């Protein structure tokens, strides 16, 4: 739940006041020590949320970043004689530089490969810390890291140290909020849940992943640096796998995408061992049962107890008028594409003018979806070129093509199910575009505040169109937009597409439903085995022997 949500702000404010009162008037020295540790781990967990919670990437290097921050601060103080502000900066800088160095190769890896790569980096760091005895002290570590002092102020232990650490928690919350608030957070959720669609709609996923990975390392390093000064000792134990497991558990139990949840998770997991020490031999069993219960009964974490914020309701009367697109002509010149020994497209050419609806038909396997994938940058052509206006977009990344003015829909809609309709469109809306206006234009005003994952199939297709329009696209490539619709829903879709064409959008329309496509299209192209076999008016193509043969002689529908 975002910190900007009123309920979240209220909960955070109440929690901050309660913690302050507890620390000031009730906590003894040991309780303050435990509270300090909870604050340190909260910072690491807030950072871990950025890469694991927000982007869904299972990084196993957060414990490594925590340990590197501790070593950087310890070595800076002991070997270089740096004062506290500089040791803190060193603790943040070293893991951030490592994260930036490894980000480009490891962030290209998918799922478990990414996890294994980050685990390998963490294990390498542990081996270096253990064996580089001259620098790190080896298995014995570094002793005598000085307490935090700056000027005449000392934060060595007790209440001053607790207050300083929790002030850093507040700083971490502020930075995390700035990175994930508003449209930025909606983009990130779209990227996590529908990465292919996010790229095709103009979201630069590589830049976001890089930024969040480096930031997560910086948060981990900050926590580690504070740990070094608070404890006075840095050993290879700070790089052990159990540190990552603890941070991961805090993130999951608190709430993967909630900074407030990270704090709650850190407070809970640091205090649980203290609460359950009286169980003696059964301590680990009780501890494990408590964690399992939290995971089972609170699938959204502790932050889920506060619900999820919603966008303001859409008011039709206040909506801005949609912007007309810049007129662009799409030209496809002898494009080819092979997959191994299979030729998907073989010298295909077409032209789509502003305000035109061009129907693209052909049997299954004829190359229609492959063509749309090439147009949107998801696949790169083996030959030929694609022009959008005067710009050559051949082989460009999907986000570049979307920003240039060409957007697509998918045969199977790709959405972030927990976002509302309005949030889904707002995530994509470019400067000057009104998400509210596009939602209404697509006929979705009655669904505006419903979760996208609850929409019926026809509404999902309209949502994809609204989202594409919010990019400011001039050309829309729609892949099977009428699939699964009844006659009434098809009529409503046809009306929308005619209205968009009248506004100047060029529409490339793929659909197997001839009774829907032929009356709607200005021109029709028929593909067969990756080649154009018929082109002309809907009436001409419907009677063309080559088109008829493509359907009924080669690969029937």
Report the pLDDT value the prediction gives residue 87, as an integer from 0 to 100. Answer: 95
Phi, then psi, of 58 in degrees rounded to 5: -80, 85
Do residues 509 and 357 lie in contact, with contact meaning Cβ atoms separated by under 8 Å? yes
Per domain, the residue ranges of the chain are 6-240, 330-405+473-554
Report the pLDDT value the prediction gives residue 14, as an integer from 0 to 100. Answer: 78
Do residues 396 and 163 lie in contact, with contact meaning Cβ atoms separated by under 8 Å? no
For 494-506, b where at least 16 C-beta lie within 10 A, e where not — what string? bebbeebbeeebb
The neighbour count for residue 128, using CB atoms within 10 Å, is 15
Tokens of 111: 């799922």
Beta strands in 372-505 (DSSP E): 383-388, 391-392, 406-408, 475-479
H/E segment holding residue 532? strand 531-536
* Superfamily covering domain 330-405+473-554: P-loop containing nucleotide triphosphate hydrolases (3.40.50.300)
Of 109, 10, 16, which Cα lies nearest the Cα of 60?
109
- Concatenating the DSSP letter of every residue in 78-102 gives HTS---HHHHHHHHHHHHHHHHHHH
Sign for the CA dihedral angle at 459, 461, 467, 470 comes to negative
Please list the rounded mean pLDDT of every run of 10 residues in the chain (557 residues): 57 76 83 93 96 92 96 95 93 97 88 90 95 92 91 82 93 93 92 93 93 97 96 94 91 85 89 74 68 74 65 50 81 94 91 96 90 94 94 94 94 92 93 88 92 94 94 94 92 95 95 91 93 93 89 52
Length of the chain: 557
351 DSSP β-pair partners: 331
Residues 439 and 447: their CA atoms lie apart, in Å, by 9
Of 341, 342, 394, 331, which Cα lies nearest the Cα of 367?
342
Residues 388 and 406: their CA atoms lie apart, in Å, by 8
Report the pLDDT value the prediction gives residue 317, as an integer from 0 to 100. Answer: 45
Report the pLDDT value the prediction gives residue 92, as an integer from 0 to 100. Answer: 97
């Amino acid at each position: 739940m975002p910190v900007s949500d009123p309920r979240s702000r209220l909960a955070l404010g109440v929690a901050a006041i309660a913690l302050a009162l507890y620390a000031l008037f009730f906590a003894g020295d040991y309780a303050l020590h435990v509270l300090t540790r909870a604050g340190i781990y909260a910072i690491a967990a807030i950072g871990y949320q950025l890469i694991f919670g927000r982007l869904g990437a299972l990084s196993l290097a957060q414990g490594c970043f925590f340990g590197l921050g501790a070593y950087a601060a310890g070595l800076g103080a002991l070997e270089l004689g740096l004062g506290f502000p500089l040791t803190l900066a060193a603790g943040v800088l070293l893991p951030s530089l490592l994260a930036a160095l490894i980000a480009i190769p490891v962030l290209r890896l998918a799922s478990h490969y990414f996890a294994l790569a980050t685990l390998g980096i963490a294990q390498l760091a542990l081996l270096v810390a253990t064996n580089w005895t001259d620098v790190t002290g080896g298995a014995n570590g570094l002793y005598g890291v000085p307490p935090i002092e700056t000027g005449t102020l000392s934060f060595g232990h007790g209440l001053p140290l607790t207050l300083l650490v929790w002030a850093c928690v507040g700083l971490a919350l502020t930075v995390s909020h700035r990175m994930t608030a508003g449209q930025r957070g909606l983009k990130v959720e779209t990227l996590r849940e529908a990465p292919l669609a996010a790229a095709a709609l103009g979201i630069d996923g590589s830049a976001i992943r890089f930024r969040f990975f480096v930031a997560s390392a910086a948060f981990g390093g900050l926590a580690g640096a504070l740990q070094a000064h608070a404890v006075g000792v840095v050993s290879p134990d700070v790089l052990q796998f159990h540190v990552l497991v603890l941070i991961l558990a805090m993130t999951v139990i608190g709430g993967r995408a909630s900074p407030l949840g990270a704090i709650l998770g850190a407070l809970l997991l640091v205090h649980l061992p203290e609460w359950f020490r009286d169980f003696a031999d059964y301590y680990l069993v009780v501890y494990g049962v408590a964690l399992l219960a939290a995971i089972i009964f609170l699938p959204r974490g502790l932050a889920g107890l506060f619900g999820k914020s919603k966008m303001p309701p859409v008011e039709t009367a206040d909506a801005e008028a949609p912007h007309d697109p810049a007129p662009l002509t799409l030209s496809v010149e002898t494009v080819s594409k092979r997959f191994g020994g299979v030729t998907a497209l073989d010298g295909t050419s077409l032209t789509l003018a502003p305000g035109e609806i061009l129907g693209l038909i052909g049997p299954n396997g004829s190359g229609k979806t492959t063509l749309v994938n090439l147009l949107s940058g998801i696949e790169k052509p083996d030959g030929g070129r694609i022009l959008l206006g005067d710009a050559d977009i051949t082989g460009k990344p999907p986000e570049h093509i979307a920003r240039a003015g060409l957007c697509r829909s998918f045969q199977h809609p790709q959405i972030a199910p927990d976002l509302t309709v309005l949030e889904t469109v707002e995530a994509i809306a470019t400067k000057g575009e009104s998400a509210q206006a596009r939602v209404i234009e697509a006929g979705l005003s009655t669904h505006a505040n419903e979760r996208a994952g609850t929409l019926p199939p026809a509404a999902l297709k309209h949502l994809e169109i609204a989202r594409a329009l919010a990019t400011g696209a001039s050309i829309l490539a729609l892949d099977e937009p009428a699939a699964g619709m009844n006659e009434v829903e098809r009529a409503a879709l046809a009306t929308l597409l005619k209205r968009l064409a009248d506004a100047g959008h060029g529409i490339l329309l793929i659909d197997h439903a001839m009774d829907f496509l032929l009356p709607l299209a200005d021109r029709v192209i028929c593909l067969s085995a990756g080649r154009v076999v018929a082109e002309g008016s809907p009436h001409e193509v419907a009677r063309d022997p080559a088109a008829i043969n493509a359907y009924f002689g080669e690969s029937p529908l």
